[in-house]
Amino acid sequence: MPPKTRISREMILETAFQLVREEGDGAVNARRIAECLNCSTQPVMYNFKTIEELRQEVYKMADAYHTDYIMSVEEKDDLPLLAVGLNYIRFGYEEKNLFRFLFQTNQFSGMNLNALFSDPALSGVMDMVAGEMGGSLEAAKELFRKVAVVAHGYASLLANNALEYDEDACSKDLCDVFNGAVKK
Domain that holds residue 13: 1-64
The verdict on 103 and 176 lying in the same domain is yes
The verdict on 84 and 168 lying in the same domain is yes
The verdict on 123 and 59 lying in the same domain is no
The verdict on 15 and 56 lying in the same domain is yes
Q: pLDDT digits over 46-55, tens only?
A: 999 999 999 9
Give the pTM.
0.87
DSSP 46-98: HH-SSHHHHHHHHHHHHHHHHHHHHT---TT-S-HHHHHHHHHHHHHHH-HHH
The verdict on 60 and 93 lying in the same domain is no
In this predicted structure, what is the pLDDT of residue 21? 97
Q: pLDDT digits over 155-164, tens only?
A: 999 999 988 9
* Domain boundary pick from 19, 35, 64: 64
In this predicted structure, what is the pLDDT of residue 122? 74
Number of neighbours of residue 16 by Cβ within 10 angstroms: 27
* Domain boundary pick from 64, 79, 104: 64
Q: pLDDT digits over 69-117, tens only?
A: 998 887 666 778 889 899 999 999 999 999 999 999 877 677 677 777 7
Band of residue 135 on the pLDDT scale cut at 50, 70, 90: confident
Report how many domains make up the chain.
2
For residue 16, give the CATH number of its domain. Answer: 1.10.10.60
Nearest-angstrom CA–CA distance, 47 and 42: 9
